[in-house]
Amino acid sequence: MHVQLRPLSEQVIVITGASSGIGLVTARMACFADVAFADGQVRLAREP
């Protein structure tokens, strides 16, 4: 089975863990590839 992928400019990319490690590297590579994206960070508070 052959899958036809659309160009990155026509897709939405969600990168989890983009503040460090492989997520950060992936986000940086997307920037250098002129991929438009928005970043955000959500931290959930833990109950004691």
45 within some domain = no
Instruction: For 16-37, write each residue's pLDDT tens digit.
Output: 877 788 888 888 888 787 777 6
- The answer to the question of residue 46 being in a domain is no
CA distance 40 to 42: 7
**What range defines the domain where residue 23 resides?**
1-36
Give the pLDDT score at 4: 92
Q: Are 16 and 38 in contact (CB under 8 A)?
A: no
Q: Is residue 9 a part of any domain in this protein?
A: yes
4-20: average pLDDT = 81
Task: Determine, yes or no, domain membership for 25.
Answer: yes
Query: What is the per-residue pLDDT for 13?
Result: 79
Q: What is the pLDDT, as a whole number, of residue 35?
A: 77
Per the structure, how many domains does the chain have? 1
